[in-house]
Amino acid sequence: MSADKTSLSSAQAAARPIVATIATVFRDGHVLLVRRANPPDAGTWGFPGGKVELGEPLEKAALRELFEETGIEARAERVFTALDAFDRDEAGALRHHHVLVAVLCSWVSGEPVAGDDALEARWFPLHALEAGDLALSRDVAKLARQGAEIAT
């Protein structure tokens, strides 16, 4: 194949899904969440996470993003699920498609301090996610339940 057929144009590359990780960390019946500072989902609570860098293993990406957003150090245990996150404009056109890979992590040290693109970072009791009082990003309560079951 010629070089022009094997490489993607910038428009084609931008039209592909973006791989990101989310770190699910549990400690004493609580889950660590951050309140997002930037769109999409600005102002809502979700798991620390972000884009995977080229050549970066998923577990390392999750731990790096976790530390950047919260100052928490953890140990990556395993990938336990993945989900699609679609960001659409007001007219419904797709702006971004992220594939979020959930990594179960074990807390090692630190207390949450908001950093990077987080407004706040703190531990929440698992039952608080079900109460409906928190503005949660999509599937946060479901993923927290799933991760907690695996972690125990």
Catalytic residues: 120
Helix, strand, coil distribution of the chain in percent, nearest 5: 25, 40, 35
Q: What is the distance between the alpha carbons of residues 87 and 97, in angstroms, rounded to a whole number?
A: 6
Nearest to 57 by CA among 79, 27, 87: 79
Structure tokens at 138: 């999509």
Q: How far is CA 10 from the centre of its chain?
A: 25
